[in-house]
Structure 1
């Protein structure tokens, strides 16, 4: 059995941050569960370009408000209780509204190792 708290993960190398988001990676590839689980905060008033070419992701909004814009497609509102699933490696922009920092629960398949950050194209590398 694995038991961890968000706070202990936040105080470790499992916390990774950029200018627009912070990800606390609570479950990683080394845990051998076949997926990774993260609590990610999207900072208020920011936009992040993301294109997971190597991963599938499901994201559940726990708090805050914003939107996801699929490149070449629709824009969807995000608020608490919204689940979006990037089942086609959808390239997108994720935006948190001003004064509406979003806190999201995220699941990745395949699992990430923990050190990944988006490259210039919004992609996480696939690490074996």
Structure 2
């Protein structure tokens, strides 16, 4: 949950470098940085207001998190994964959406409203 809150805060604050630092260290840095910029451009206004996060999967391999940005009506799906950074087990976010259209796309399985699939919600 902590990294999810950090993602929302960094989007709301427009901190692209700090948002990109939450990305998977094993992925292409250029794609991660472009993804951070896309997320801020698309979701900054909504991330500054009420956000509900729903958590799917059990989290030891990957956890899907769906963010509902209430002020704008936007939905953002992110993936949180365990990673090894400097010999420590931490969580990072998959940030491989350098195309703005991909960054704002919503997968067909994602519910339109929080709670529709019985997930765990954090408000």
Q: TM-score range by the shorter chain?
A: under 0.3
**Higher normalized contact order (CA 8 Å, seq sep 6+, divided by chain length):** 1
Is the helix fraction higher in 1 or 2?
2
Larger strand fraction of residues: 1
Instruction: Using structure 2 for the length normalisation, give the TM-score.
Output: 0.28
Name the TM-score, length of structure 1 as normaliser: 0.27
